[in-house]
Amino acid sequence: MELVEAISTRISARAFLEKPVSKSTVSKILDHARLAPSGSNMQPWHIHAVTGQVREQVIEKALAYAGEHPVGSVRQEYQSPPEAMVKPYKSRRYECGMALYSALGIDRKDKEARAKQLIQNFYFFGAPVGLFFSIHRTLMPGQLGDLGIIMANIMLLAREHGLHTCAQGFWQDVQPAVREVLDVPEEYYIYNGMAMGYLDQQHPANKMKIQREQLEQVASFSGFE
Ligand SMILES: Cc1cc2nc3c(=O)[nH]c(=O)nc-3n(C[C@H](O)[C@H](O)[C@H](O)COP(=O)(O)O)c2cc1C
């Protein structure tokens, strides 16, 4: 698959088929993704890939943890998104939520339906594979960008294998549960998760329409002929 095709067919998938993904496929993806650049080649990432029983355990523990610490109620040391949001980010974020609810036929005021959709995050939206990205706390926030690069590599390599993904900042809110199941030491911060699997093409969540700003709005060119 051409890189441009991988970029343009990648979406944040929020419904997957039950079809499993083999260890060899996941390791091929991670083996190429690890070639990502990083500041001074520090490679400040650790990736946990889970499936099967371990995935179930993560889900179970995370749901139990969230029962006592509702998602969004605990302030994270690295708050993403930040509490005070300015234009145009606040409105883009709002529109993103609205686009998802509209694809799912959820009314903006229907708190229960919105909460149900949030809960899908715990289940990796039905994806058979979950990935977790952790970083040594001493490298935050400076090297978080490096994690973004390896995550992007994974998302694009996944396309080459016929797979889809969804990055999940969501997991930051239930870190203690993930930490316990995967034995992640306290000095590591669990920055993000990612769902990976085969796309459920028929599911309305995957028909969400999301726009990007035009090039002139996000890039400036200086000194060119
Ligand atoms: C770092 C990061 C964290 C994200 N966290 C979540 C998440 O927790 N739950 C979710 O449903 N989508 C999550 N997303 C998906 C974004 O909402 C999505 O990338 C954005 O709306 C653009 O849509 P697209 O990926 O389909 O192009 C995340 C994306 C990124 C890059």
What is the value of pTM for the model shown? Answer: 0.96
Using the mean position of ligand 1's atoms as its centre, give its distance from the Cα of residue 156 in Å.
14
Report pLDDT for 75. 80
- What pLDDT shows up at residue 78? 79
Q: How many CA atoms lie within 13 A of 136 on its CB side?
A: 5
The binding-site residues of ligand 1, defined as CB within 6 angstroms of any ligand atom, are: 11-12, 14, 96, 121, 166-170, 192, 210
DSSP string for residues in 24-48: HHHHHHHHHHTT---GGG----EEE
What stretches in the chain show pLDDT beneath 50?
Answer: none
How many angstroms does the Cα of residue 110 sit away from the middle of ligand 1?
21
CA distance 37 to 153: 10
Nearest alpha carbon to residue 135 among 192, 176, 189: 189
User: Which of 166, 196, 212 maximizes ligand 1 atoms within 8 Å of its Cβ, making it the mutation to test the pocket?
Assistant: 166
pLDDT tens string 83-112: 888 999 999 999 999 999 999 999 989 999
Neighbours of 195 (CB within 10 A): 26
The radius of gyration of the chain from alpha carbons, rounded to an integer in Å, stands at 18
Domain boundaries, the chain: 3-208
CATH number attached to the domain at 3-208: 3.40.109.10
Bond from prior residue into 176 cis (ω within 30 degrees of 0): no
pLDDT computed for residue 117 by the predictor: 94
Q: What is the pLDDT of residue 76?
A: 80
In whole angstroms, give the CA distance from residue 210 to residue 99: 7
